[in-house]
């Protein structure tokens, strides 16, 4: 079973990783370590992203050195090392990877009681949602480090011309529909093609998770079976389809894995609002008068968005777990994360609630980008299990049938759930 689980690491690591770097492989230059403890850290990120934190830690802890290696084909390397039982001491875990490696016995547990008892570490400062990404079977196997979520932006001038006011908490579905209708009525005046576009990304979960959750759908039922064939899930698909049928958004199509295509259209004035990934938000042009807004919410107020959260864990083969935990605690502490966030050229979410402003400090306050961090109160993702990668593939295939082949919504979802339940039962 463990070999099968490990084999899924390669696919799981293809989940979007929120990172920025030089793209150059870097091995931190170290001399003869002498009596020092050397911790090997492999990452899909570049060394310069963490350089200040590493140097600060090593200055405070001269008996420990961090040997950092940026790996261009991270998933393949981790797969090979995990299978051989020869993992590095420190492992970056993107969305879904923590659960797979933990199930395979490749990660060590963190003593959360001890972390909570350390008043200087302030464990409870992490956003509550981090638990979903960093735990497996009730235990913590990684600690939150960074990530990114999705949010919405709108053209202030276009909305003002149409007399549309954006509610502080975001549009309800009815209000969102009405705003789209008003924008279409002023289409020629504004020069837009559509009010917005809904992009069907390669991970279909990212497209529909917010709508399904807002409609009241849950990915897993209380008994552990998949619930994405519920009446609520059907309602979500029918609502999005109604936006297409009314001509408020074009037919759902794949415009790339990121939201650059939407941002390009938004910058060009072809759409009046769009959903944006935080890590792509620097492509929004300042010559457009834009602001962030909270995600649309169901008429009952239920709100959701997609969040990718990356953690860092200690491998089961680490021979110096106390030193490894000491470094990870520093890296994910207020001090360490401040060093990391302050000079980061790509916006990242702040995994600590107290540092929300740091992650979007590169934006002018007029853009209201702080909403991406306060939006973590309602952001999340599907329940992550060790068969996540295969689940993702099945969901994408079935959603494609609905959007691109006009398949019946309910029967397609029923068939999808049958396949997913077979995986969930493993």
How confident is the model over 334-360, as pLDDT tens digits? 999 999 988 777 788 899 999 988 888
Lowest mean pLDDT among 7-11, 36-40, 148-152, 320-324: 7-11
Average pLDDT over residues 275-294: 94
Q: Which own/partner contact pairs does 332-337 have at CB distance under 8 Å and 24+ positions apart?
A: 332/143, 332/144, 332/145, 333/120, 333/121, 333/122, 334/122, 334/125, 335/56, 336/53, 336/56, 336/57
Does residue 32 register a pLDDT over 50?
no
Positive or negative: CA dihedral 311, 317, 322, 327: negative
Average pLDDT over residues 301-319: 95
**pLDDT confidence bin for 19, thresholds 50/70/90:** very low
Does residue 24 register a pLDDT over 60?
no
- Asked if residue 57 lies in contact with residue 327, where contact means CB atoms within 8 angstroms, the answer is yes
Lowest mean pLDDT among 2-6, 82-86, 392-396: 2-6
pLDDT score, position 10: 47
Higher pLDDT, 201 or 46: 46
Residues in Cβ contact with 72 at an 8 Å cutoff, skipping those fewer than 6 apart: 25
Give the span between the Cα atoms of 317 and 406, in whole angstroms. Answer: 50
How confident is the model over 60-95, as pLDDT tens digits? 999 999 999 998 888 788 878 888 888 999 999 988
Closest to 157 (Cα-Cα) out of 126, 125, 190: 190
pLDDT score, position 6: 47
DSSP secondary structure string for all residues of 290-336 = EEEEPPPB-TTS-B-EEEEEEEEEEBTT-S-HHHHHHHHHHHTSHHH
Domains of the chain: residue spans and CATH: 2-147+307-380 (3.40.190.10), 149-306+384-424 (3.40.190.10)
Lowest mean pLDDT among 10-19, 92-101, 222-231, 267-276: 10-19
How confident is the model over 34-59, as pLDDT tens digits? 589 999 999 988 898 899 999 999 99
pLDDT score, position 67: 97
Positive or negative: CA dihedral 339, 340, 345, 349: negative
How far is residue 5 from each of residues 75, 99, 157, 361, 426, measured CA to CA in Å?
A: 14, 10, 51, 40, 11
User: CA geometry: angle at 233 spanning 231 and 236, to 5°?
Assistant: 110
Q: Which two tokens stand for residue 148?
A: 């990114």
pLDDT score, position 34: 57
**pLDDT confidence bin for 187, thresholds 50/70/90:** very high
Lowest mean pLDDT among 141-150, 257-266, 295-304, 370-379: 257-266
Average pLDDT over residues 137-160: 96
Q: Return mean pLDDT, the chain.
A: 88
pLDDT score, position 383: 86
**pLDDT confidence bin for 385, thresholds 50/70/90:** confident
- Asked if residue 269 lies in contact with residue 192, where contact means CB atoms within 8 angstroms, the answer is yes
Task: Give the pTM.
Answer: 0.86
Give the span between the Cα atoms of 361 and 342, in whole angstroms. Answer: 8
How confident is the model over 103-117, as pLDDT tens digits? 888 999 999 999 999
Does residue 4 register a pLDDT over 80?
no
pLDDT score, position 201: 62
């Amino acid at each position: 079973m463990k070999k099968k689980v490990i084999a899924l690491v390669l696919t799981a690591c293809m989940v979007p990783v929120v990172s920025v770097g030089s793209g150059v492989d870097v091995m931190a230059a170290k001399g003869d370590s002498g009596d020092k403890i050397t911790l090997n850290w492999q990452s899909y990120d570049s060394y310069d992203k963490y350089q200040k934190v590493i140097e600060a830690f090593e200055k405070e802890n001269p008996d420990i050195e961090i040997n950092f290696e940026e790996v261009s084909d991270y998933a393949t390397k981790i797969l090979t090392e995990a299978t051989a039982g020869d993992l590095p001491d420190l492992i970056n875990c993107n969305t879904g990877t923590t659960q797979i490696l933990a199930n395979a016995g490749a990660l060590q547990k963190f003593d959360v009681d001890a972390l909570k008892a350390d008043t200087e570490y302030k464990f409870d400062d992490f956003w509550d949602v981090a638990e979903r990404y960093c735990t497996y079977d009730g235990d913590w196997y990684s600690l939150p480090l960074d990530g990114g979520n999705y949010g919405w932006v709108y053209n202030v001038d276009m909305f003002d011309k149409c007399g549309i006011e954006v509610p502080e908490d975001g549009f309800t579905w009815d209000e969102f529909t009405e705003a789209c209708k008003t924008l279409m009525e002023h289409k020629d005046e504004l020069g837009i093609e559509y009010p917005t576009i809904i992009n069907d990304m390669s991970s279909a979960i990212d497209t529909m998770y917010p709508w399904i959750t807002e409609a009241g759908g849950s990915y897993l039922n209380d008994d552990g079976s998949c619930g994405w064939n519920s009446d609520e899930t059907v309602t979500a698909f029918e609502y999005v389809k109604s936006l297409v049928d009314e001509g408020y958004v074009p037919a759902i199509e794949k415009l790339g894995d990121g939201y650059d295509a939407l941002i390009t259209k938004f910058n060009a004035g072809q759409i009046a609002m769009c959903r944006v990934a935080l890590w792509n938000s620097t492509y929004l042009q300042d010559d457009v008068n834009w602001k962030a807004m909270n995600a649309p919410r169901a008429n009952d107020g239920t709100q959701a968005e997609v969040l990718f959260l990356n953690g860092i864990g200690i491998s089961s083969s680490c021979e110096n777990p106390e030193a490894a935990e000491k470094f990870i605690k520093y890296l994910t502490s207020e001090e360490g994360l401040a060093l990391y966030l302050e000079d980061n050229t790509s916006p990242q979410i702040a995994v600590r609630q107290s540092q929300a402003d740091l992650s979007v400090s590169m934006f002018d306050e007029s853009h209201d980008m702080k909403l991406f961090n306060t939006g973590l109160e309602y952001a999340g993702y599907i329940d992550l299990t060790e068969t996540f990668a295969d689940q993702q593939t099945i969901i994408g295939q079935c959603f494609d049938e609905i959007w691109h082949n006009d398949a019946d919504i309910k029967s397609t979802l029923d068939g999808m759930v049958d396949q997913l339940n077979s995986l969930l039962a493993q």
